[in-house]
Amino acid sequence: MQVDWTIYSTFIGAALVMLLPRESKTLIRWVSLLTGVISLWIGLTAYFEYNTWIHAGNAGFWHIKDLAWIPSLGAKYHLAVDGINLPLIILNGFVCVTGVLFSWNIEERVKEFFAFYLTLIAGVYGVFMAMDIFLLFVFYELAIIPKYFIIAMWGSTRKEYGAMKLVLYSFLGSALVFVGVLALVYGAGGKTFDILELAKNPLSPDLQRWIFPLLFVGFAVLAGMWPFHTWAPTGHVAAPTAASMLLAGVVMKLGSYACLRAGMLVCPAGFEEWKWWVAWIAVIGIVYGAAVALVQKDFKFIIGYSSVSHMGFVILGLATLNLRGMSGAILQMFSHGIIASLLFAVVGRMVYDRTHTRQLDELGGLRKVMPFAFWTFVIGGAASMGLPGFSGFVAEINILIGAFAMSPWLALGAGLSIAITAAYILNALHKVFFAEEEHAGSGGHGHGHGGTGESRWHLPPITLPEIIASVILMALLVIIGLYPSIMLDMISANVELFLKGLPQ
Amino acid sequence: MTPVPYCSIFTALTPVLILVIGAFVALTLDIVRLRRSTMTVRNRTLGMVSILALLGAAVALTRQFGLPGPVTLLGQTLVVNHLTSLFNLVIVGLTILTIVISMEGDVGRHVGEYYATLLFGSIGMLLLVSTEELITIFVALELTSICLYILTAFHKGALRSQEAAVKYFMFGAISSAFLLFGLSYVYGITGTTNIREIAAQTTSSTLLSVGLLFTVVGFGFKVAVVPFHLWAPDAYEGAPTPVAAFIATGSKVASFFVLVKLLFIGFAGMQGTAFCYKFSSGWTMLLASTGAASMILGNVVAITQRNIKRLLAYSSIAHAGYVFIGFVAATEFGATSVLFYVIVYALTNLGAFGVLAALANRAGGDDMEHFAGMARRAPFLSVLMLIFFLSLAGIPPLGGFFGKFYLFAAAVQSESTKFGLLWLVILGIAMSAVSLYYYLIVLKHFYIIDGKDKSRIQTPVYLNTALAAVAVAVVLLGLFPEQVLALLKGLVAQL
């Protein structure tokens, strides 16, 4: 089965969920899980096939579908995969499956939840595979609306505000992209929307100079680039767990991926001109996100701002425009997708759903009550800090090497944030999972009795779906960390092509 | 002397004849047989009669596609070609849907008159689409408008309906005066009332520009663009919902269609420019400025509305602004994009009004609050509302998105060396981002806010089916626009 079936299978899954009676909640969950597993399976099959092909010394695109769609306009239904988007496709599959598992406890309006959820997933698959800029834009906007409903219906803190903010930011970003796409296509004669065709005949540098920022900034809004990041923390915090996982894990990658594919590829000269701006803004974002995370009092806001910081690494890596930096950036997209999903799962599902608070001051001593959550957070946090042996290290070290080649100052700025990251992760770890004695005797906050020797928390145990999902994500972090070539080889082979000029 | 092609004449006129007969049958049937029946029976029976007449007209219209070539009667008074037949079909379809919505709603005590007026109104639209002669344009436009004024007042007991009708009538009468004034100047300068002959006149004079200006103003009232929009919010809010739907869709389609003909054929030589670096007088400049104002005002004011019908009125003002962008492109691409968008927009809006009409009676009103928690009370219609509103906001893969994309693409394409029209496109895109906000607010009431009343609302199956068909059409026009687009493109090229 071709890899484009990831899109169709999730759409079919969403439609199926819509048709099921709303009372049969368990069935709906199982159908969603099965849909996720099928799409992941399709993605993985393609991934390993492509991996073998790469190791045989090849590189380039596999064109999955290239059909005329709207000839009157010049838009095509063109899907293709290569070493750059395949890791993201399987990332989407993993996040989808684990997200369903972490949402197993949703009881209210289950049917609508999973229908919107799977639609969003399908849109994301589409963006990752689209090779026609119109098609990419269609999938990109398709992914906006489900986010609104998922957050506004099932979210928590200031959910309607967070949802609307997120949607309007995304829509404003895509408005910039819209203008950019029209100018790009009709500046080039208006014959085609195909990204590879457009890349073959680039516009004059004068046009690229102002079209590139439109495309890049428009997409970077969704990647959480500073100073357009403010939707990200509020949106992540307001969202229910599975949606935070999707937002930080996958949707932010839509932005950075599209920057690469639909921004840098079609406007190389424009990028060349703006790359120092992009790099420095990325560094500001990295340091700013980490610094703000350090002073947060809300557990989920910490992870939200850390996403802004880590996505800054992705943009910095892309801006370096060298093999190490860009390969690192793409690996970072995958790695951060997994890390963010894992951390949001700990915060949202394991901690918040049980304790009903996310304030660091109110939490504490959870290590004894939920050792599993503790260890999950330790592993996720270690990967987030960039500890060797985890995927975060491989990605960030490559980005830093690439940035160093561009300018040592960039690498210095970005490197600084790694220390801050360690500080806020350890701080959160301490306050949430240790720090029990500070609360002992204070009477708790209506949660416990504060007696000595026994924990003040009486929480439901971690469920099996949560354990399975966490183990999958943790395993991925370790596998990529110990054996990075399983992903890095195909990425670098294609980045090399990209840098040489046109990938074919 | 060439033989008179009676057969073709008959084919060209049958649809209108069938509708006239249908209207009289509805009237007589109501007086003669149904006076003593209950309201529901009268409403359903007469609705069915009208639908039958419209279906007959639709069959007659499809037969027009078999004609060997364009049929011209009485010196361009009536020109029937494939494009006009297609748009007549669209109007007949919209009228059928309006009637389907009406059959469930409250149309007052004068049921026969209601359906007859509706049919007469649609006859006016059919004639408007298929004429290329100024006087007939005016007469057809008046036929349509007068029917719509009457229909607006059909809630005889409701003060609001009366107020809306008077307001609508006053504005409409003034706009007709403007239009007639403009057309008289055009006739005075060119000496002809035939659109194609006007185009052939090469004399350009200030008076002709005045004529053009007043003609555009007159149409500006009809399609409700800023600053001629003031009647729309009141008329939409006060009129019975099916009538508001008819005003917002059928009459808009016909008016935009005839405006395309008038400007792209009749005033082809007077388009002027509206580029950001060069404004020169002509109709593109007029349409660019009114269109820009409409997009801004319509979208911004819509944000503050609480009544959904009023909100849709402001949104329709904004949408008229988007459509004007396609006009400003002043190319065949532009004309195609306008026609495509008008079809999509009419379907979407009719669907939205249809859902409102179906639910408003049982929800207790048409303010947003009345629809709180509707997703649980009427899940099916709520999904349809989701589709229609997202299409209005321009979210893919729905028709509204593609229509908008095509309009904007036409404007960018028409001057792509220095991107002279990009300013208008940027404005349009920015404003559609604004519009997403208020469309989402409405959907928020449907889906997210919980209402007090939680009882299920049952709606008749035929109504659900009809609205679902519209929704499917909206989705298909977004997913596979090529068929319709290629058809329109070919037909516009022959215009």
Q: What does the pLDDT read at residue B99? A: 93
In this complex, do A141 and B419 lie within 8 Å of one another by their Cβ atoms? no
Provide the 8-state DSSP code for A201.
Answer: S
Among A168, A175, A190, whose Cβ lies nearest the Cβ of B416? Answer: A190
CA atoms within 13 Å, Cβ hemisphere of A241:
26
Q: What does the pLDDT read at residue B349? A: 94
pLDDT, greater one: B303 or B203: B303
Q: What does the pLDDT read at residue A207? A: 86
Which two three-digit tokens encode residue B318?
């904004």
In this complex, do B429 and A141 lie within 8 Å of one another by their Cβ atoms? no
- Note the pLDDT tens digit of each residue in B398-421: 999 999 999 999 999 888 778 888
- How many structural domains does chain A have? 1
Distance from first CA to last CA of chain A, Å, rounded?
23
Which residues in B lie closer than 8 A to residue A73 (C-beta atoms)?
405-406, 409, 485
Distance from CA of B317 to the nearest CA of A (A): 21
Q: What does the pLDDT read at residue B337? A: 94
Which residues in chain A land under pLDDT 50?
441-452, 502-504
Q: What is B23-66 written as a DSSP string?
A: HHHHHHHHHHTSTTS-HHHHHHHHHHHHHHHHHHHHHHHHHHTT
In this complex, do B486 and A148 lie within 8 Å of one another by their Cβ atoms? no
In this complex, do A179 and B422 lie within 8 Å of one another by their Cβ atoms? yes
- Note the pLDDT tens digit of each residue in B248-281: 999 999 999 999 999 998 888 787 777 878 877 7
Among B419, B432, B489, whose Cβ lies nearest the Cβ of A183? Answer: B419
Inter-residue contact A166 to A151 (CB < 8 Å)? yes
Sign of CA dihedral A173, A175, A177, A183: negative
Which amino acid is located at A169 in the chain?
Y
Which residues in B lie closer than 8 A to residue A145 (C-beta atoms)?
390, 395
Distance from CA of B409 to the nearest CA of A (A): 6
Mutate to test the interface with B, among A23, A72, A192 (most CBs of B within 10 A): A72
- Note the pLDDT tens digit of each residue in B63-117: 888 877 788 877 778 888 889 999 999 999 999 999 999 987 777 778 889 999 9
In this complex, do B396 and A138 lie within 8 Å of one another by their Cβ atoms? yes
Q: Which band of pLDDT confidence, cut at 50, 70 and 90, is reported for residue B2?
A: low
CA distance B62 to B69: 14
In this complex, do A167 and B422 lie within 8 Å of one another by their Cβ atoms? no
Which two three-digit tokens encode residue B110?
């004068």
Distance from CA of B412 to the nearest CA of A (A): 7
Q: Please give the ipTM for the structure prediction.
A: 0.89
Q: What does the pLDDT read at residue A450? A: 44
Q: What does the pLDDT read at residue A438? A: 55
Mean pLDDT of B312-338: 93
Residue A503 belongs to a domain: no
Closest by CA position to A232, among listed A153, A290, A314, A304? A304
CA distance B323 to B81: 24
Mutate to test the interface with B, among A17, A73, A177, A221 (most CBs of B within 10 A): A73
Q: What does the pLDDT read at residue A284? A: 93
In this complex, do A70 and B429 lie within 8 Å of one another by their Cβ atoms? no
SS3 B239: coil
Among A73, A134, A152, whose Cβ lies nearest the Cβ of B444? Answer: A152
- Pairs of residues, one from chain A and one from chain B, whose beta carbons lie less than 8 Å apart: 84
Strands B273-275 and B278-280 turn out to be antiparallel
Tokens 């990647």 identify what position? A223
Q: What does the pLDDT read at residue B457? A: 87
Which residues in A lie closer than 8 A to residue B436 (C-beta atoms)?
167-168, 171
Q: What does the pLDDT read at residue A451? A: 45
- The domain of A207 spans 5-442+454-496
Closest by CA position to A38, among listed A58, A23, A16? A16
CA distance A153 to B41: 42
Which two three-digit tokens encode residue A460?
């439901």
In this complex, do B413 and A186 lie within 8 Å of one another by their Cβ atoms? yes
pLDDT, greater one: B119 or B77: B119
Average pLDDT, chain B: 89
Q: What does the pLDDT read at residue B301? A: 94
Mutate to test the interface with B, among A139, A140, A186 (most CBs of B within 10 A): A186
Mutate to test the interface with A, among B405, B447, B487 (most CBs of A within 10 A): B405
Inter-residue contact B429 to A181 (CB < 8 Å)? no
Which amino acid is located at A256 in the chain?
S
- Note the pLDDT tens digit of each residue in B417-468: 788 888 999 999 999 989 999 999 999 999 888 888 888 888 889 999 999 9
SS3 A403: helix
Q: What does the pLDDT read at residue A363? A: 81
Closest chain B residue to the Cα of A190, Cα to Cα:
B413
In this complex, do B485 and A70 lie within 8 Å of one another by their Cβ atoms? yes
Which residues in A lie closer than 8 A to residue B489 (C-beta atoms)?
72
- Note the pLDDT tens digit of each residue in A425-434: 998 888 888 8
Closest by CA position to A293, among listed A283, A303, A284, A278? A303
Tokens 């974002």 identify what position? A285
pTM of the predicted structure, to 2 decimals: 0.92
Closest chain A residue to the Cα of B413, Cα to Cα:
A186
- CA distances A183 to A189, A275, A278, B368, B411, Å, are 10, 21, 21, 39, 11
Interface residues of A toward B, Cβ cutoff 8 Å, are 69-73, 112, 134, 137-139, 141-142, 144-145, 148-149, 152-153, 160, 164, 167-168, 171-172, 175, 178-179, 182-183, 185-187, 189-190
Distance from CA of A415 to the nearest CA of B (A): 38
Q: What does the pLDDT read at residue A455? A: 66
Cα angle: B271, vertex B275, B277; to 5 degrees: 135
